[in-house]
């Protein structure tokens, strides 16, 4: 007799609620939808959950409490083998088609269950380059209806995910492969944007399981720093990394413990402290940007303490400078000025080893001039020639940009034209080429370029070109929904 495999699809939301209400009618639909969506509206799981509620004579509140505390257990209890989700899954895993694929089957299922988004089918071989049958295993899951494709991601139904997570140890060699893959590709914005939920989940697990290994700690802190940086610059989103990073113990690693290697251990300890400080600084900018203000303040304060602990005042001053730039962009100039003055204060009355680098001090001074120009202080224009001569070897693009506009506002047309001409002569071309490479209509730098060129054209008497550029900017702004 030839057997035919029938696929049992997930139910529609209304059909799933109707099926559950047939057994257990005394629960509000809005509450029920939340429960059943966690099961991906899987028919057998709906049946098992309803049967458990009836057999235990639970009220709706008792059912919710039981679900929160023992999800996987509720889906295992059936009247017979055919009614047990556990038996159904184990029967599939012990079938000849899976057994011939070896242990990779179990390991890959655990990884897919562990990752909230599932795993990218496109990058499957790149993630696990040493596993020759990885794609065969993934295909087998889909054929057996244990997994399905959600866009590019291979993912599991909620009940199967719950079962795998509660019955199998997730800490496999494949998990280390996932960590290595994300660490290697963390600077690639398209991967971070597509898989940020997975990456954050992996990072939190990794941060909690470094086991005191120095290299593992350095790798995860570096990866977390870049993750925060990419999100901040491309897709600012709320994150939950702070508790795990804060709890990471970088003072007591197991690599070196002998007196003979005391100085080497001290050096490594400083490196770890400095990396944790940098990671917390970077995370604080992201959280500040997305409105996680309390956690952002805690992370920034902790990062300051760590920087002071290792005596790295240059690191501390550099991050004051970065935060000052962010405050300036948001128009919070008083906070920005306070940060910059504090940063400069670190270089006074200190021993030579703790002094700020020339680069850091210059960055701070340049940003202070920019703030004065943005705030419209005309006296800044008087000292501008001397300042520009002193720092002529640095990129003065934004100094000239804001000085030009301040000069325009105060009717110093010659000075304004000179500033704009210097921009065009000393790097505007390169800046504009970079803008052109990212020719996104919503890119504010593209607008700045158009506005700057319009003002330059106006100063040169080319009013037609100036009006055309201004009209283009206005057209883009009017099309924006926000």
**pLDDT tens-digit readout, 207-230:** 999 888 888 999 999 999 999 999
* pLDDT at residue 150, rounded to an integer: 84
* pLDDT at residue 266, rounded to an integer: 66
pLDDT cut 70: percent of the chain above it: 76
Q: What is the CA radius of gyration of the chain?
A: 30
* pLDDT at residue 350, rounded to an integer: 47
Max mean pLDDT among 299-313, 380-394, 454-468 falls in 299-313
* pLDDT at residue 109, rounded to an integer: 85
* pLDDT at residue 241, rounded to an integer: 95
> Which band of pLDDT confidence, cut at 50, 70 and 90, is reported for residue 82?
very low
**pLDDT tens-digit readout, 232-245:** 989 999 999 999 99
* pLDDT at residue 32, rounded to an integer: 81
Residue 80 has pLDDT above 50, yes or no: no
* pLDDT at residue 279, rounded to an integer: 95
Least confident of 51-60, 65-74, 335-344: 65-74
* pLDDT at residue 56, rounded to an integer: 65
Average pLDDT over residues 270-285: 91
* pLDDT at residue 352, rounded to an integer: 42
Residue 160 has pLDDT above 80, yes or no: no
Residue 353 has pLDDT above 50, yes or no: no
How many angstroms separate the CA atoms of 67 and 38, rounded?
Answer: 10
**pLDDT tens-digit readout, 381-438:** 877 777 778 877 777 777 887 888 788 777 777 777 778 777 766 654 455 454 444 5
Least confident of 95-99, 138-142, 232-236, 353-357: 353-357
Mean pLDDT of the chain: 77
* pLDDT at residue 456, rounded to an integer: 65
* pLDDT at residue 460, rounded to an integer: 65
Q: Which residue has the higher pLDDT, 77 or 80?
A: 77
**Where are the domains positioned within the chain?**
13-83, 384-426, 431-482
* pLDDT at residue 329, rounded to an integer: 75
Q: Which residue has the higher pLDDT, 442 or 150?
A: 150
Q: Which residue has the higher pLDDT, 66 or 182?
A: 182
> Which band of pLDDT confidence, cut at 50, 70 and 90, is reported for residue 136?
confident
**pLDDT tens-digit readout, 34-45:** 777 776 676 767
* pLDDT at residue 392, rounded to an integer: 74
> Which band of pLDDT confidence, cut at 50, 70 and 90, is reported for residue 355?
low
* pLDDT at residue 72, rounded to an integer: 55
Residue 55 has pLDDT above 80, yes or no: no
Residue 461 has pLDDT above 70, yes or no: yes
* pLDDT at residue 172, rounded to an integer: 67
**pLDDT tens-digit readout, 170-212:** 556 788 889 999 999 999 999 999 999 999 999 999 999 988 8
Residue 146 has pLDDT above 50, yes or no: yes
How many angstroms separate the CA atoms of 98 and 463, rounded?
Answer: 74
Least confident of 157-161, 239-243, 317-321, 380-384: 157-161
Residue 300 has pLDDT above 50, yes or no: yes
Q: Which residue has the higher pLDDT, 464 or 281?
A: 281
* pLDDT at residue 424, rounded to an integer: 65
* pLDDT at residue 226, rounded to an integer: 96
* pLDDT at residue 88, rounded to an integer: 62
* pLDDT at residue 199, rounded to an integer: 96
Residue 338 has pLDDT above 80, yes or no: yes
Least confident of 299-308, 363-372, 409-418, 454-463: 454-463
């Amino acid at each position: 007799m030839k057997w035919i495999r029938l696929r049992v699809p997930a139910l529609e939301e209304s059909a799933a609620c109707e099926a559950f209400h047939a057994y257990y009618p005394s629960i509000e639909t809005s509450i029920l939808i939340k429960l059943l969506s966690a099961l991906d509206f899987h028919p057998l799981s709906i049946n098992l959950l309803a049967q458990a509620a009836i057999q235990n004579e639970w009220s709706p509140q008792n059912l919710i409490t039981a679900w929160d505390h023992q999800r996987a257990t509720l889906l295992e209890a059936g009247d017979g083998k055919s009614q047990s989700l556990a038996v159904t899954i184990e029967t599939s895993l012990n079938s000849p088609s899976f057994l011939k694929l070896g242990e990779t089957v179990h390991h890959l299922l655990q990884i897919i269950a562990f990752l909230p988004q599932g795993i990218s089918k496109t990058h499957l071989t790149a993630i696990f380059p040493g596993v020759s049958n990885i794609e065969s295993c993934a295909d087998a899951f889909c054929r057996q209806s244990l997994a399905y494709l959600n866009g590019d991601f291979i993912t599991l139904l909620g009940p199967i995910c719950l079962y795998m997570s509660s019955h199998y140890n997730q800490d496999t060699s494949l998990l280390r492969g996932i960590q290595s893959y994300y660490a290697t590709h963390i600077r690639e914005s398209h991967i971070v944007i597509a898989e940020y939920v997975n990456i954050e989940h992996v990072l939190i697990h990794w941060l909690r399981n470094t086991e005191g290994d120095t290299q593992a700690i350095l790798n995860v802190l570096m990866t977390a720093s870049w993750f925060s940086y990419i999100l901040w610059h491309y897709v600012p989103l709320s994150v939950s990394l702070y508790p795990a990073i804060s709890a990471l113990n970088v003072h007591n690693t197991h690599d070196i413990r002998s007196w003979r290697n005391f100085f080497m251990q001290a050096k490594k300890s400083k490196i770890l402290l400095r990396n944790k400080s940098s990671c917390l600084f970077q995370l604080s900018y992201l959280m500040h940007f997305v409105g996680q203000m309390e956690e952002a303040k805690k992370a920034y304060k902790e990062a300051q303490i760590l920087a002071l602990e290792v005596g790295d005042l240059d690191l501390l001053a550099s991050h004051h400078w970065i935060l000052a730039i962010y405050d300036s962009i948001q128009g919070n100039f008083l906070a920005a000025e306070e940060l910059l003055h504090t940063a400069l204060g670190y270089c006074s009355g200190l021993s030579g080893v703790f002094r700020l680098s020339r680069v850091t001090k210059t960055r701070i001074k340049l940003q202070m001039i920019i703030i004065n120009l943005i705030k419209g202080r005309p006296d800044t224009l008087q000292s501008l020639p001397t300042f520009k001569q002193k720092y002529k070897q640095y990129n003065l693009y934004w100094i000239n940009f804001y000085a030009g506009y301040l000069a325009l506002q105060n009717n110093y047309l010659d000075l304004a034209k000179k500033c704009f001409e210097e921009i065009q002569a000393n790097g505007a071309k390169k800046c504009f080429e970079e803008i052109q490479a990212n020719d996104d209509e919503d890119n504010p730098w593209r607008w700045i370029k158009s506005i700057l060129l319009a003002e330059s054209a106006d100063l040169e008497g080319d009013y037609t070109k100036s009006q055309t550029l201004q009209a283009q900017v206005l057209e883009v702004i009017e099309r924006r929904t926000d």
